[in-house]
Amino acid sequence: MPKKSSAEVDIFGLLTDTAEKKKKKRREELLKPLGVKEFFVEGSIDIDKKTCHGVECKICIEKCPTNALYWKAGEVGIVKDLCVYCGACVLCCMVDDCIKVRRKRETGEEERFSKPRDVAILIQNINAKRRLERIQEVFPTPEEYCRRYRKKKKPMHKRD
């Protein structure tokens, strides 16, 4: 295999990869003591400071399982390295479209929500899929059921 010359090496790509690896390692170190499982490959969280009523409620700060949200100088701050994009903050927020979460699953499926109702519907859909998968594992398909329990016809005896 021929060696690449220094002109062919993508230094920006190497720096980006190194920075991403460091960020991921730091994130793992921060989340490990909390015992919080990460379900999402990537994500983002933003708080609209104009609509946030944080000084009146601070519920999102209390409900955050990783303490990624905190109170700072008259507004809610975010430690993005701690956020696992669970949606607990959006679910309890009293103002629609105040906290916006975007997250991407390992399957590539992207989810976005900014209202408690959206989070509740998303959770319901996820749970419905899981229930269906469990049912399909335990119970046979209609075709399999018919094959298993098909009544065998007894031959009719002819009288001579």
Mean pLDDT for 70-85 is: 88
pLDDT at 100 over 70: yes
Fold of 39-148: Alpha-Beta Plaits (3.30.70)
- pLDDT band for position 154 (50/70/90)? low
Please write the tens of the pLDDT for every residue from 126-145.
999 999 999 888 887 888 88
Query: For residues 11 and 19, is the Cβ–Cβ distance under 8 A?
Result: no
Q: Is 86 exposed, middle or buried (0-12, 13-18, 19+ CB in 10 A)?
A: buried
Would you list the domain boundaries of the chain?
39-148
Least confident of 2-11, 29-38, 64-73: 2-11
